[in-house]
Chain A
């Protein structure tokens, strides 16, 4: 019961309170880039959920069973923690390649709609961010998995909500100088303020 409670708290915290896009400002590139249509935003969100969940688990394993494993000391190396960033990026890149392959095969329309932003998940700092946060917070494997899923669900939630708003903005009467990206950035800021309301949710 205690474990269940702490897992729920982790999910709520990373999805809402510390939302990756709106509170931590990570992963803004796809957030702004693929949020013109709800459909593609949802596809992006699902791809990120998969990549972030898998990346969390695999990077956790890489961290504890390779970079700072006990058997390294036996070889006289100490630890390889300084390789964290490059090793994690490698994991994420491989995962993104895999996701790209699956999407290209199963949903070509979504593949072309996501365009360059699909391979760009590789450099999505939200994915690298969640992996590093998992290690810094000292989470165990289960907590890591839930933190990854929670964070990615938060990302998907934010991008889908944002896409919904932007779809409506297409038809709104907006001052010419604000059309397109300017109003999108203002909207993102307002959404970030709205998500501030979750701050008191978890103490």
Chain B
């Protein structure tokens, strides 16, 4: 018995050694030296092969970067530091990329949206949406059957109470859920966006009211209260220009349906450090909420009740005397 085991191991081992040696010799004649930059670049990519860059995987993307066809910051899931490292490998500049996050623009949980009928078909959002415009009364709402959950490579999307919910810590912004959603309600928005509309209903107020307790009724109050011209009403839905939005939360506070979500974290107010303020009044002129008081050449102060934390005064202060602090 022992002879057979040892014989087998020896036979296969000998074969393996022989072929290995032959291949080693052959590689001296036929070996191709790979571009070492491809390996370096690939080491600075997440390696999830999510395809968010538009290439077949991280390896294909690394090759595309090195052969010059792809931007060094083309990976949506990559951190800025890694993108900069790739840029230095390639010897190019890489601009700052605004990180994006996937956002479900619907709040239609089973409790919020009215249910038309009980759906017992296959677990597929597109199929459910095709059956009499879905089992939820709103024809723009999340179907909650998890097409997005199934394509998410990191398990960041879960369906909670009939509504797709995204864990932003896990989201790598690959955009797969955006493509998978048959109702196109998942969008990639800048992580720093000051306000995001959490409804996708391009319908008149009456229709939305009948279908959902929390949907946007297209009243346009948000567009009127916005002092920065960041909101326009298009097809009964506010469109927020994230470049203009300052995160002042006026629309968030005034929305009668609470359909706009502000920036995460606590509210901020401006605070003027008296030792640096020279009383130039630039901040007071910039403030759209009349929250800054003070005569020229005297130290200014901020009325925290009026201040919205829009940060405009911080940006104009030549003395850098203003910082944002937590409101409470």
**Contact of A80 with B by CB under 8 A:** yes
Known: A75-B3, A76-B3, A94-B22. A87 touches B31 (CB 8 A): no
- B30 to chain A: which residues have CB within 8 Å? 98, 101-102, 104-106
Residue of A nearest to B56 (CB): A115
On whether A83 and B12 interact (CB within 8 A), knowing A75-B7, A104-B32, A105-B32, the answer reads yes
Contacts of B7 in A (CB 8 A): 72, 75, 77, 80
B12 close to A86 (CB less than 8 A): yes
State A102–B12 Cα separation when bound (angstroms): 25
Q: How far is the CA of A67 from the CA of B15 in the complex (A)?
A: 11
Interface core residue of A77, A97, A105 (most chain B CB under 10 Å): A77
Q: Does B26 sit within 8 A of A, measured CB to CB?
A: yes
Number of B residues, CB within 8 Å of A: 17
In the assembled complex, which residues on chain B have CB atoms less than 8 Å from the CB atom of A67?
11
Contacts of A105 in B (CB 8 A): 30-32
Residues on B with C-beta less than 8 A from A72 are 7
Interface assignment of A186: CB less than 8 Å from any CB of chain B: no
A76, A87, A102: which contacts B15 (Cβ < 8 A)?
A87
**Cβ of B119 under 8 Å from chain A:** no
> Is residue B16 contacting chain A, with contact meaning CB distance below 8 A?
yes
| A164 → B minimal CB distance (Å) | 27
A77 & B3 in contact (Cβ 8 Å cutoff): yes
Residues of A within 8 A of B20 (CB): 94
Q: By the criterion CB–CB under 8 Å, are B8 and A66 in contact? A: no
Name 15 extra pairs, CB < 8 A, besides A66-B15, A101-B27, A108-B32.
A67-B11, A75-B7, A76-B3, A77-B3, A77-B7, A78-B4, A83-B8, A87-B11, A87-B15, A90-B16, A98-B22, A104-B30, A104-B32, A105-B30, A105-B32
Residues of A within 8 A of B (CB): 62, 66-67, 72, 75-78, 80, 83, 86-87, 90-91, 94, 97-98, 101-102, 104-106, 108
Contact surface of B with A, Cβ cutoff 8 Å: 3-4, 7-8, 11-12, 15-16, 19-20, 22-23, 26-27, 30-32
User: A-B pairs with the 7 shortest C-beta distances?
Assistant: A94-B19, A77-B7, A101-B30, A105-B30, A76-B3, A77-B3, A104-B32
